[in-house]
Chain A
Amino acid sequence: MSWNARWKWSAGAVAGLAMALSLAVGPRRVEAGSKPDPKDLMDRSDKRHRIPGEHLRARMVLQNEGGDRRTLQYESWVVQDDEKGDKMRIEFSAPADVRGTVLLRVEDPDTKTDRQWLYLPAFHRTRRLGEADLGDRFVGSDIFFEDMKRRYVEDYSYKLVGEDTIDGKPCWVIESRPFSERVKRESPYGKARLWLRKDILFVVKSYQFDRQGRPLKEMRVKSLRRVAGRAWRADRVEIVDVQRHHRTVVVVERRDLPRSIPDELFSKHRLGSR
Chain B
Amino acid sequence: MAAGLVLAAALACPWSRASADALRTRLVVEEGSGGAATARVVARRFRQAVRATWGVSLVGDGAVADAELKVRVVRLRRRVRRFRLEVVFSSLGDASVRAAASVVMRRRRPSRIVAARLLRKLVRRFRRELARARRRWRPGTERGNGEPADEAAGEEGGAGDEQRGEEPEEVSEEVSSESGAEDFSSDWVEEEPEFAEVPDEEAKGDIERAWEVSIATEHYRYLEDPPALSMAVPPGALGADEPTPGRDSVEFMLEARLTAENAEGRARFSARRDFSMPERDRATFTEAYGEFRQGPVMVRGGFLIESWGTGTLWSPSDILNPIDLRDPLDPEKLGLWALRVGLLFGDLSISAYYLPVPAAHLLPPVAGIALDGTVQSPSRWVRGRLVAADADVMPRFVSGGAQLREPSLENTQAAARLAWSGKKTDLAVSYAYMFDPFSTPAATVLAAGPAPTLRIDFYRDRLHVVTAEMEGVVGRWRFEADAAAVFPMREKLSAASVAMGPDPEDPVPYLAAVVGGDWQSAQFGGDHSVHLYLDLVFVFGLDGDLPDDPIGKLRFPFRRTAMFRFEYDAGRDLRFGVDAVSALDGFDLLVRPKVRYRIADLIEVRAYGAWLTGGDDGFFGTFDDNSRAGVELKASY
**Within the complex, what minimum Cβ distance (angstroms) separates A10 from chain B?**
12
Contact B636 A97 (CB under 8 A): yes
Contact B300 A273 (CB under 8 A): yes
Cα A175 to Cα B161 in complex, Å, equals 25
Given contacts A131-B476, A170-B179, contact A5 B529 (CB under 8 A): yes
**Within the complex, what minimum Cβ distance (angstroms) separates B135 from chain A?**
28
**Within the complex, what minimum Cβ distance (angstroms) separates A49 from chain B?**
14
Contact B21 A137 (CB under 8 A): no
Contact B602 A29 (CB under 8 A): no
Q: Which among B160, B204, B478, B527 has the highest number of chain A CB atoms within 10 Å?
A: B527
Contact A130 B19 (CB under 8 A): no
Contact B49 A68 (CB under 8 A): yes
Chain B residues contacting A57 (CB-CB under 8 Å) are: 207-208
Q: Is there a chain B Cβ closer than 8 Å to A112's Cβ? A: no
Chain B residues contacting A95 (CB-CB under 8 Å) are: 601-602, 636
Q: Is there a chain A Cβ closer than 8 Å to B313's Cβ? A: yes
Contact A167 B157 (CB under 8 A): yes
Chain B residues contacting A155 (CB-CB under 8 Å) are: none
Cα A172 to Cα B174 in complex, Å, equals 9
Q: Which one, B19, B167, B212, B423, contacts A96 given CB within 8 A? A: B212
Chain B residues contacting A73 (CB-CB under 8 Å) are: 206-207
Chain B residues contacting A159 (CB-CB under 8 Å) are: none
Cα A213 to Cα B276 in complex, Å, equals 61
Chain A residues contacting B602 (CB-CB under 8 Å) are: 95-96
Cα A135 to Cα B214 in complex, Å, equals 35
Cα A274 to Cα B298 in complex, Å, equals 10
Q: Which residue of chain A is the closest to B291 with respect to CB atoms?
A: A273
B581-597: which have CB < 8 Å to A?
596
Chain B residues contacting A273 (CB-CB under 8 Å) are: 264, 291, 293, 298, 300
Given contacts A1-B313, A75-B207, A273-B298, contact A65 B194 (CB under 8 A): yes
B435-485: which have CB < 8 Å to A?
471-478
**Within the complex, what minimum Cβ distance (angstroms) separates B172 from chain A?**
6
Q: Is there a chain A Cβ closer than 8 Å to B567's Cβ? A: yes
Comparing B142-150, B180-188, B385-393, B399-407, the segment that makes contact with chain A is B180-188
Q: Which one, B78, B198, B636, contacts A63 given CB within 8 A? A: B198
Q: Is there a chain B Cβ closer than 8 Å to A256's Cβ? A: no
Cα A118 to Cα B54 in complex, Å, equals 33
Q: Which residue of chain B is the closest to A30 with respect to CB atoms?
A: B171
Contact B21 A66 (CB under 8 A): yes
Cα A13 to Cα B477 in complex, Å, equals 21
Q: Which one, A35, A69, A129, contacts B478 given CB within 8 A? A: A129
Given contacts A96-B636, A198-B171, A273-B264, contact A207 B188 (CB under 8 A): yes
Given contacts A3-B518, A124-B307, contact A269 B636 (CB under 8 A): no
Comparing B80-88, B342-350, B539-547, the segment that makes contact with chain A is B342-350
Contact A63 B174 (CB under 8 A): no
Cα A98 to Cα B165 in complex, Å, equals 39
Contact B196 A8 (CB under 8 A): no
Chain A residues contacting B214 (CB-CB under 8 Å) are: 96
Cα A67 to Cα B421 in complex, Å, equals 43
Chain A residues contacting B19 (CB-CB under 8 Å) are: 64-65, 243-246
Q: Which among B203, B204, B477, B531 has the highest number of chain A CB atoms within 10 Å?
A: B203
Chain B residues contacting A1 (CB-CB under 8 Å) are: 312-313
Q: Which residue of chain A is the closest to B296 with respect to CB atoms?
A: A264
Contact A199 B169 (CB under 8 A): yes
**Within the complex, what minimum Cβ distance (angstroms) separates A205 from chain B?**
9
Chain A residues contacting B349 (CB-CB under 8 Å) are: 267, 269
**Within the complex, what minimum Cβ distance (angstroms) separates A101 from chain B?**
13
Chain A residues contacting B342 (CB-CB under 8 Å) are: 269
Cα A222 to Cα B160 in complex, Å, equals 7
Given contacts A207-B184, A269-B344, contact A32 B172 (CB under 8 A): yes
**Within the complex, what minimum Cβ distance (angstroms) separates A93 from chain B?**
6
**Within the complex, what minimum Cβ distance (angstroms) separates A75 from chain B?**
7
**Within the complex, what minimum Cβ distance (angstroms) separates B347 from chain A?**
7
Chain A residues with a Cβ closer than 8 Å to the other chain, count = 102
Given contacts A5-B531, A164-B179, contact A130 B161 (CB under 8 A): no
**Within the complex, what minimum Cβ distance (angstroms) separates A122 from chain B?**
10
Chain A residues contacting B298 (CB-CB under 8 Å) are: 264, 270, 273
Contact A224 B173 (CB under 8 A): no
**Within the complex, what minimum Cβ distance (angstroms) separates B300 from chain A?**
7
Given contacts A67-B49, A128-B472, contact A135 B193 (CB under 8 A): no
Q: Is there a chain A Cβ closer than 8 Å to B295's Cβ? A: yes
Contact A225 B295 (CB under 8 A): no
Chain A residues contacting B196 (CB-CB under 8 Å) are: 63, 67, 69
Contact B162 A223 (CB under 8 A): yes
Q: Is there a chain B Cβ closer than 8 Å to A6's Cβ? A: yes
Cα A199 to Cα B169 in complex, Å, equals 5
* B405-440 interface code vs A (CB 8 A; 1 in, 0 out): 000000000000001010100100000000000000
Contact A61 B198 (CB under 8 A): yes
Given contacts A6-B572, A35-B175, A225-B164, contact A133 B522 (CB under 8 A): yes
Given contacts A95-B601, A128-B472, A163-B179, contact A68 B48 (CB under 8 A): yes
Q: Is there a chain A Cβ closer than 8 Å to B102's Cβ? A: no
Contact A163 B180 (CB under 8 A): yes
Q: Which one, A32, A128, A224, A240, contacts B162 given CB within 8 A? A: A224
Contact B174 A29 (CB under 8 A): no
Contact A198 B179 (CB under 8 A): no
Contact A140 B572 (CB under 8 A): yes
Q: Which residue of chain B is the closest to A249 with respect to CB atoms?
A: B198
**Within the complex, what minimum Cβ distance (angstroms) separates B429 from chain A?**
14
**Within the complex, what minimum Cβ distance (angstroms) separates B607 from chain A?**
14
Cα A161 to Cα B184 in complex, Å, equals 9
Chain A residues contacting B604 (CB-CB under 8 Å) are: 97
Q: Which among B164, B198, B342 has the highest number of chain A CB atoms within 10 Å?
A: B198
Chain B residues contacting A123 (CB-CB under 8 Å) are: 307
Cα A233 to Cα B288 in complex, Å, equals 40
Q: Which one, B166, B170, B259, contacts A28 given CB within 8 A? A: B170
Contact A161 B182 (CB under 8 A): yes
Closest 9 CB pairs of A and B: A96-B636, A66-B48, A222-B159, A269-B349, A27-B170, A95-B601, A140-B572, A162-B182, A32-B173
B interface, CB within 8 angstroms of A: 18-19, 21, 46-50, 78, 157, 159-167, 169-176, 178-182, 184-185, 187-189, 192-196, 198, 200, 203-204, 206-209, 212, 214, 259, 264, 291, 293, 295-296, 298, 300, 305-307, 310, 312-313, 333, 342, 344, 346-347, 349, 419, 421, 423, 426, 471-478, 518-520, 522-523, 526-527, 529, 531, 533, 567, 569, 571-572, 575, 577, 596, 598, 601-602, 604, 636-637
17 residue pairs of the A-B complex, CB under 8 angstroms, read A29-B171, A58-B203, A64-B19, A71-B601, A97-B604, A108-B423, A130-B478, A136-B529, A223-B161, A225-B162, A236-B200, A253-B204, A268-B347, A269-B419, A269-B421, A270-B298, A274-B259
Q: 5 more A-B contacts (CB under 8 A) besides A99-B212, A137-B527, A223-B200?
A: A2-B567, A127-B312, A224-B163, A251-B203, A269-B344
